[in-house]
Amino acid sequence: MQILELISPTRTEHAKLNPLLWTSDRHLIPQVKSTLIKIARHFQQFVDIDFPVIDLQITGGQTTRYYTDHSDLDLHLITDYSQIDCDQELAELFDTKRLLYRQQHEIHIHKIPVELYIEDLKQPAAGGAYSIVDLEWIRPSPEPDHQPNNQKIEQLASVWDQNLRAALDHRDLTILKELHTLLQQYRRRGLAQQGEYAQANLVFKTLRNSGIVDQLRSTIRHLEDQKLSLD
């Protein structure tokens, strides 16, 4: 498995944030801001649930000086789950809507893929965050405090890859859904403990860029469709 550029020994530390998105004084380029607001409104309409948007924030690799060609632009719609009138589990519902939106729309800013999320105000994402509404940094992007162990990351990614491919060959819906949940939990724990440069996050990104994560999700959807169908 080819390891991500992000975790290679020659990982590039840029002198400043990505100039396609940011001004020299670390603020969002006005045209980028207006485009992201337009994207957020379109996504909110797609979700089709009445929820207040308290803020729009950028997080992830594009808030750091270690961005790469693999770094998405993570756009978070910040809301307060406790203020939303809905009888379903909100985190799962919003994640399903997010994945469905991504399946139907491929949106880029200067060829950078835009990933959309709905974030609970009380459970902020790990790492740096920039408010599009207030045009200020909520949290500065932390600098990595260690050099990633490339060999360990590659080994862990290979183990995950083997297990995922075995499950995909077996095509057991229950097992596939359990593996998907375990992979998500594995990444979230890493992000919560160490942020963007957590070993678990880098393992996940390696898997995602290999295509195996999308294959897992599409297979789950296909098997669910089969289960609900009648021949």
Each residue's pLDDT tens digit, 147-203:
778 889 899 999 999 999 999 999 999 999 999 999 989 998 888 777 777 889 889
Same domain, yes or no, for 169 and 63?
no
- The residue segments making up the domain with residue 179 are 150-228
Same domain, yes or no, for 102 and 193?
no
Given a cut of 80, whether residue 119 has pLDDT beyond it is yes
Determine the pLDDT at residue 1.
46
Determine the pLDDT at residue 73.
95
Q: How far, in Å, CA of 71 to CA of 73, rounded?
A: 7
Same domain, yes or no, for 50 and 80?
yes
Same domain, yes or no, for 194 and 101?
no
Q: What is the pLDDT of residues 201-231, one digit of tens each?
A: 889 988 988 889 989 989 998 999 999 998 7
Same domain, yes or no, for 131 and 76?
yes
Given a cut of 70, whether residue 131 has pLDDT beyond it is yes
Determine the pLDDT at residue 70.
79
Residue 83 lies in a domain: yes
Q: How far, in Å, CA of 102 to CA of 207, rounded?
A: 18
- Average confidence score pLDDT of the chain: 88
* CA atoms within a 13 Å half-sphere pointing along the CA-CB vector of 200: 14
Same domain, yes or no, for 99 and 187?
no
| pLDDT (average), residues 103-118 | 95
**Domain boundary residue, one of 86, 115, 139:** 139
**Domain boundary residue, one of 115, 139, 163:** 139
- Return the residue matching tokens 């375990």: 182
Residue 145 lies in a domain: no
Same domain, yes or no, for 75 and 119?
yes
- The percent of residues above 90 in pLDDT, for the chain, comes to 58
Given a cut of 90, whether residue 142 has pLDDT beyond it is no
Same domain, yes or no, for 198 and 121?
no
Same domain, yes or no, for 64 and 85?
yes
Work out whether the CA dihedral 19, 23, 26, 28 comes out positive or negative: negative
Given a cut of 90, whether residue 45 has pLDDT beyond it is yes
Same domain, yes or no, for 106 and 159?
no
Decide which of 230 and 113 is more confident.
Answer: 113
Residue 57 lies in a domain: yes
Residue 95 lies in a domain: yes
Same domain, yes or no, for 68 and 132?
yes
Determine the pLDDT at residue 138.
93
Q: How far, in Å, CA of 43 to CA of 105, rounded?
A: 10
Number of domains in the chain: 2
Given a cut of 60, whether residue 61 has pLDDT beyond it is yes
- Return the residue matching tokens 């393992």: 203
Using pLDDT thresholds of 50, 70 and 90, give the confidence band for residue 80: very high
**Domain boundary residue, one of 91, 117, 139:** 139
Given a cut of 90, whether residue 141 has pLDDT beyond it is no
For the stretch 122-125, contacts whose Cβ atoms lie closer than 8 Å and that sit 24 or more positions apart, written own/partner, are 122/80, 122/81, 122/82, 125/57, 125/59, 125/60, 125/74, 125/76, 125/191
| pLDDT (average), residues 39-53 | 94
Cut 0.85: pTM above it: no
Residue 144 lies in a domain: no
